[in-house]
Amino acid sequence: MKEKELVKELLEKLGGRFSLALGIDLEGGDPQEVFKWFLASILFGARISEKIATNTYFEFERRGVTNPDKIIETGWDGLVEILDAGGYVRYDFKTATKLLEVTAALKERFGGDLNVLHAEAEDSKDLEGKLMELGRGVGPVTSNIFLRELRGIWEKAAPLPQNLAIMAARNLGIVRTDEPAEIASELVKIWEEHPIEGRSFSDFETSLVRLGKDYCRRKRCLTCPIAERCESKEKEG
């Protein structure tokens, strides 16, 4: 009962998938929607606030620059302008370069379709490798963000839990092991035993990432919406 209530509270108070919050529908695996989430994942992958990354994605959407052809057509100067308008000033030059490099590679190798990249991957590890081979704009963090929300949609999308999710899960006392693969199995088991209608495991996992990012990592215990469930000794300090 404790875990069931915890899962429900996490989703209610922390929220689920970032893609849903952005209005991106990944459920059908539509290549246009998948690319939109890929673009958003690159923006979220930098050391920048969620608010700025979100605002910047919406700026791309507002201008209709959310597919490979539009990215390339917009060019470096145009991308910098969009990034600046969204508040992505600190990483504007670098990110514009990365977006052009990654998109060009996606077009050249997979016809601009990330579903083709997935189909050609041998397994989950090869899938992660193929994503990161697109260019410097897709590192381990971006790959994890992207694939986490495609879990259950892409057969080979099976990234290990992000460190932020592991931190939050440990603080809540729902995992005890130090092995990421075992932690992933434990979290999946919890979700399978206590699913929430209309939600997915990706929502549960993302709620843990949100908790780790916004509260556990920053030691914001006093403002944490589920502080009473925390078992971390650090909370007492």
CA distance readout (Å), 125 to 40, 54, 232: 22, 28, 32
pLDDT for res 231: 83
pLDDT for res 176: 82
Distance separating alpha carbons of residues 38 and 25, to the nearest angstrom:
12
In a domain, 121, yes or no: yes
Distance separating alpha carbons of residues 135 and 202, to the nearest angstrom:
26
pLDDT for res 233: 53
Which residues constitute the domain of residue 132? 18-148
Q: Is the pTM of this model over 0.85?
A: yes
Residue ending a domain, among 124, 148, 172, is 148
Please indicate, yes or no, whether residues 22 and 83 belong to a single structural domain of this protein.
yes
pLDDT for res 155: 96
Please indicate, yes or no, whether residues 27 and 129 belong to a single structural domain of this protein.
yes
Interhelix angle 68-85/50-62, nearest 10 degrees: 130
Please indicate, yes or no, whether residues 185 and 141 belong to a single structural domain of this protein.
no
Please indicate, yes or no, whether residues 144 and 164 belong to a single structural domain of this protein.
no
- Assign residue 212 the CATH number of its domain: 1.10.1670
pLDDT for res 217: 87
Please indicate, yes or no, whether residues 6 and 32 belong to a single structural domain of this protein.
no
In a domain, 131, yes or no: yes
pLDDT digits (tens, 9 = 90+) for 212-232: 999 998 888 899 999 988 887
| Domain tally, the chain | 2
Residue ending a domain, among 117, 148, 179, is 148
List phi, psi (to 5°) of 154.
-95, 125
Residue ending a domain, among 148, 179, 209, is 148
Please indicate, yes or no, whether residues 87 and 179 belong to a single structural domain of this protein.
no
Is residue 204 within a helix (H) or strand (E), and if so which, with residue range? helix 201-211
Please indicate, yes or no, whether residues 28 and 125 belong to a single structural domain of this protein.
yes
In a domain, 85, yes or no: yes
- 7: its two tokens: 């899962």
Please indicate, yes or no, whether residues 227 and 171 belong to a single structural domain of this protein.
yes
In a domain, 69, yes or no: yes
Cα 35 to chain centroid, rounded: 13
In a domain, 154, yes or no: no
Please indicate, yes or no, whether residues 143 and 26 belong to a single structural domain of this protein.
yes
pLDDT for res 191: 95
Please indicate, yes or no, whether residues 106 and 122 belong to a single structural domain of this protein.
yes
In a domain, 153, yes or no: no
In a domain, 218, yes or no: yes
pLDDT for res 139: 95
Task: Mark the ranges of the chain whose per-residue pLDDT is less than 70.
Answer: 1, 233-237
pLDDT for res 234: 57
Distance separating alpha carbons of residues 99 and 92, to the nearest angstrom:
10
Running DSSP on this structure, what letter comes out for residue 159?
A: P
Please indicate, yes or no, whether residues 26 and 55 belong to a single structural domain of this protein.
yes
Please indicate, yes or no, whether residues 193 and 170 belong to a single structural domain of this protein.
yes
pLDDT for res 237: 45
In a domain, 170, yes or no: yes
pLDDT for res 146: 98
- Assign residue 110 the CATH number of its domain: 1.10.340.30
